[in-house]
Amino acid sequence: MSDLHHDHLYIGGNWVAPATDGRISVISPMTEQELGSTPEGAPADIDAAVTAARGALDGDWGRSTAAERADVIDRLYALFLERSDDLANLITAEVGSPLLFSHFGQVGATGMALDYFAKLTRSFAFEEVRDGMMGPALVRHEPVGVCAGIVPWNVPLFISMLKLAPALASGSTIVLKPAPETPLSANALAQMCIDAGVPDGVVNIVPAGRETGQHLVTHPDVDKVSFTGSTAAGRKIGAACGELLRRCTLELGGKSAAIICDDADLDAIMPELIAASTMNNGQACVAQTRILATRSRYDEVVEALTEAVAAIPVGDPANMETGCGPLIAERQRERVEGYIQAGRDEGARVTTGGGRPEGLDRGWFVEPTVFADVDNSMRIA
């Protein structure tokens, strides 16, 4: 990886000086040492980014054809394929994702989103004639305008692309605010936008914290907000957008359950269940966090699940054999350990894990953990 200390923000198609001297320091989840740093965006930087996005929308990009936009997306997709190894290594260093997951769940999924929207842009009927009550009607799909995309740290490139790619496809422009934990991969994305020839101002990326994000959400020249993150933050963003009559999309927290029926083949389903439960070190909104089994097979399911989880290789995420790496930050480890203690305090039974792995004195590791004898009154449920 090249030097990961950045001094500029990607606004208006160029690397520009930030409005303040605030910095974001990125700490490696594996070494607990500084990995890199970027400027911390301020409200003035958001203002500049939104102005650039509005200028591009009112200029040539707002009048672009679907084929022209698809060409831009295809060029960005080609760069993702070309740089996939470097991107996967960067995500592993920045997030702590096991390298295998970084290749498939982080970078590979991002490329799939780009490829999908490039094809959709070429095939979608942006104009069509429909029968109306008083004769034919022309229905035209136009850009929504300047979009704000607020991205979490767990799958930063993929979730960025779920906001950026449809904005490009529609002819909209976007200001992305990556999480302060993952600005390095966001800057790699910015450089790819430059190298792919994304027109100036169409994509702008401003890493920042919560207060600057709130400024973006309520900015008077933003037309649409897309947020992925916690339910608590989503409520506030939804309320702000409702007050402003501003379109918004919210992808918030969940509590995903698997139901194991009496006729399930445990040997067949267990590998898939483990993959779904522990992907990205368990830091995924779709992670299988609850396993529900019938009473007649409960002990059998607990035994099989315990054996499979206990066998997960824990360690350096840069090793392709690692199944579980460190959590993203020290505060996240403290949060997880708090849940483990709450489970114990309320009477649930730890069948494997529950502590910090031996021999890993550095890095924010927690053992993959299984609780049995849990009921729905418990906090961990």
Distance CA(90)–CA(160), nearest Å, equals 16
Cα 216 from Cα 43, distance rounded (Å): 8
Q: How far, CA to CA in Å, does 150 sit from each of 42, 209, 213, 309, 351?
A: 15, 10, 7, 33, 38
Q: Compute the radius of gyration of the chain from its Cα atoms.
A: 23
DSSP-derived secondary structure for 180-234: TT-HHHHHHHHHHHHHTTPPTTSEEE----HHHHHHHHT-TT--EEEEES-HHHH
- Considering 251, 300, 337, 346, which one is annotated as catalytic? 251
Q: Among the options 181, 285, 324, 367, which is catalytic?
A: 285
What is residue 290's three-state secondary structure? strand
Please name every residue paired with 314 in a beta bridge, in sequence order, or none if there are none.
324
Q: Sign of the C-alpha dihedral, residues 372, 378, 380, 381?
A: positive
DSSP 8-state code for residue 361 = -
Cα 104–29–252 angle (5° rounding)?
60
d(CA 16, CA 42): 13
Tokens of 125: 């009927």
Q: Please, are residues 157 and 282 in contact by the beta-carbon 8 Å criterion? A: no
Specify whether the CB–CB gap between 156 and 95 falls below 8 A: yes
Does the annotation mark 285 as catalytic? yes
> Do residues 197 and 72 make contact, with C-beta atoms less than 8 angstroms apart?
yes
Around 344, how many Cα atoms within 13 Å sit in the side-chain half-sphere?
13
Q: Which of 270, 338, 329, 352 is nearest to 304 (CA)?
A: 270
Nearest to 124 by CA among 65, 83, 174: 65
- In this structure, are strands 135-140 and 146-150 parallel, antiparallel, or unpaired? unpaired
Residue that the structure tokens 């031996």 belong to = 358
Active site residue 272: no
Give the residue numbers annotated as catalytic, written as ranges. 251, 285
